[in-house]
Amino acid sequence: MATKLTAEKPEHADAIERVLARAFGPGRYAKTSERVRERGAVLEPMLTRVAINDGGDVVGVCRIWRVEAGDASLFFLGPLAVDPSEQAAGLGLALVRDAVAACRASGGNGIVLVGAERFFRAVGFTRVPLGKLSMPGPVDPARFLWLELRPGGLDKAHGAFRAPKR
């Protein structure tokens, strides 16, 4: 596989939108995760990972955002998408692993996301304990997951997500 993973650059923006549209189809903006992003989460292009195939096309993305909850600065992961033409070849997991490694190397506390437990368990994500964090809309507790990036990193995380102080 000659696909390479890189940080997000401004010139990737349109191609990322095309991959998201193809992977998710309509209804993507109805997700509760979109409400987190709309409410002032800050995109982290250097921690986001974009997959580029050997033809130079963007074929996958795993975006990382910065939010706050309680007394903790956290990362929020998503959307994660791989173009349907390239799915089931390990790219989705590779994107997540690389983005998580970048978040850890940046000195982060932890990462939160809404997604399939069966998929994200492979990278170490577990369910957010009930009542610990709240999302700005309905979320299935079985899909509300987090990963601690350093010992005690999630101890001070609680309540609703806020936009980070810049």
Ligand X SMILES: CC(C)(COP(=O)(O)OP(=O)(O)OC[C@H]1O[C@@H](n2cnc3c(N)ncnc32)[C@H](O)[C@@H]1OP(=O)(O)O)[C@@H](O)C(=O)NCCC(=O)NCCS
Site for ligand X, rule CB under 6 A:
23-24, 80-82, 87-93, 115-116, 118-119
Distance CA 166, CA 164 (A): 6
Least distance from ligand X to the Cβ atom of residue 151, Å: 27
Of the pair 24, 29, the CB lying nearest ligand X is at: 24
Nearer to ligand X, 33 or 68 (CB): 33
- Taking the C-alpha atoms of residue 81 and residue 143, their distance in angstroms, rounded to an integer, is 16
Minimum distance of ligand X from residue 123's CB (angstroms): 10
Name the residue nearer to ligand X (CB basis): 22 or 132: 22
Burial of residue 67, with CB atoms counted within 10 A of its CB: 0-12 exposed, 13-18 middle, 19 or more buried: buried
Specify the residue, 93 or 160, whose C-beta has the smaller distance to ligand X.
93
In DSSP terms, which residues pair with 74 in a beta bridge? 67
* Cβ atoms of residues 129 and 144 within 8 Å: no
* Residue with smallest beta-carbon separation from ligand X: 92
CB 32 within 8 A of CB 136: yes
Nearest approach in angstroms of CB 19 to ligand X is 8
What's the alpha-carbon Rg for the chain, to the nearest Å?
15
| Least separation in angstroms between CB 156 and ligand X | 27
